[in-house]
Amino acid sequence: MKKITLALAVSGALGVSSAVQAITVSEFASGVLVPHALWVSGETSTAIGLTAACAGTVYWTFFDEDTKHIIDGEFKMSEYDWVQFSHSDTIGDVKGGFNNGPQFPGLDGQRGYYVFVHDVAVDSNLLIGSSDAPCLAGNAWQINGNSDDVIYIPTLPIHTDELAFGDDVRDMGTQSLHSLSAVASANNGDILLLNYADDAAVSDIVIWSAQNVKGSYTVFVYNTDEQRASTNLDLPNAELNVIDSNTVTKPIGHVVGFIEWRLSDAADPDEDGIFSFSLIRPAAADATQTVINPIWRNP
């Protein structure tokens, strides 16, 4: 890479993503993962759109960054139905249409993620079974009211064999979503390239993982002159981390580029699947761009 503008850097990163490995998003499956959701009263909230190809009940769970079960619920969808799911209405101080229990104003500012499961994947006792069908797909956006910014949040398909057989779909926990084939595999030794732009108004790296990745990792960091340095990537949470790229130690001159994370350091024999995207808002722009961070598959 040579010295280029941020816009070209983002464009180039997207080009790398398609050339190295495509990531499956918004595909019909038995369930949907929304890897990031946040509600801050009066400032921001996550809006989710779900499309059903099959009639049935959709069960959902909101987890925190360490996959602690926070709240769950369910709602009906008909065939070829579309439902708007509001994170703020669900956990906030306005009564939500999809919540079977009380509201949770105390969760203001709680970052987490959603798992939606169509009842095609459960049996009559509401236990996750072995049947699988392409019944549910979704999209998501982070809506920032103060800045009139709408940020695309990629959603990922969940297949039944990626859920823990026999778990009650209404009481999902830390082991319930144990793998995700649509994303990078640490057990296979894949590499993630995490895009950053420290001169932007916002440069956040979002990392979701099926396994516990809490810890510090030695990584390579590159700039737009292809200069490499070694540094540490510190992840404070088990399964959802949002890292301001400016907090990652880098040499002078490393302002825009990517971090090379070799995922074998995070391998887990029982769980596998890591996904990342960067949220970059250039200082001179009015919108935050979503850059899906590319996977380099280990052959």
| Residue 17 confidence class, pLDDT cut points 50, 70, 90 | very low
Q: What percentage of the chain reaches a pLDDT higher than 90?
A: 74
Q: Is-contact 7 224, C-beta < 8 A?
A: no
Query: How far is 98 from 85, CA to CA, in rounded Å?
Result: 8
What is residue 116's predicted lDDT score, i.e. its pLDDT?
A: 97
What SS3 state is found at 120? Answer: helix
Query: How far is 108 from 43, CA to CA, in rounded Å?
Result: 10
| For range 94-121, the mean pLDDT | 75
| For range 262-288, the mean pLDDT | 94
In the chain, what are the domain boundaries?
6-23+183-296, 31-162
| For range 189-213, the mean pLDDT | 97
What is residue 40's predicted lDDT score, i.e. its pLDDT?
A: 86
What is residue 63's predicted lDDT score, i.e. its pLDDT?
A: 95
Q: For the segment 66-79, what is each residue's pLDDT rounded down to a tens digit?
A: 999 998 999 999 99
What is residue 9's predicted lDDT score, i.e. its pLDDT?
A: 41
What residues contact residue 108 under an 8 Å CB cut-off, 6+ apart? 39, 40, 41, 92
* Multiple choice CATH, 31-162, 1.20.120, 2.30.30, 2.60.290, 1.10.3470: 2.60.290
What is residue 99's predicted lDDT score, i.e. its pLDDT?
A: 53
| For range 273-298, the mean pLDDT | 93
Q: For the segment 149-188, what is each residue's pLDDT rounded down to a tens digit?
A: 899 999 999 999 999 999 999 999 999 999 999 999 999 9
Contacts of the segment 14-20: beta carbons below 8 A, 24+ positions apart: 14/291, 14/292, 16/193, 16/294, 17/291, 17/292, 17/293, 17/294, 19/294, 20/193, 20/294, 20/295, 20/296, 20/297
Q: Considering the chain, what is the average pLDDT of its residues? A: 88
Q: For the segment 139-151, what is each residue's pLDDT rounded down to a tens digit?
A: 999 998 777 889 9
Q: For the segment 22-75, what is each residue's pLDDT rounded down to a tens digit?
A: 578 889 999 999 999 998 888 889 999 999 999 999 999 999 999 999 989 999
Q: Which amino acid is at 16?
A: V
| Residue 228 confidence class, pLDDT cut points 50, 70, 90 | very high
Lowest mean pLDDT across 38-52, 89-103, 243-257: 89-103
Q: Is-contact 229 254, C-beta < 8 A?
A: yes
What is residue 4's predicted lDDT score, i.e. its pLDDT?
A: 37
Query: In 3D, which of 28, 113, 102 has the Cα closest to residue 63?
Result: 113
Q: Which residue has the higher pLDDT, 20 or 295?
A: 295
Q: For the segment 106-115, what is each residue's pLDDT rounded down to a tens digit?
A: 678 889 999 9
CB atoms within 10 A of CB 263: 24
Query: How far is 146 from 261, CA to CA, in rounded Å?
Result: 34
Query: How far is 53 from 68, CA to CA, in rounded Å?
Result: 30
Q: Which residue has the higher pLDDT, 116 or 12?
A: 116
What is residue 14's predicted lDDT score, i.e. its pLDDT?
A: 39
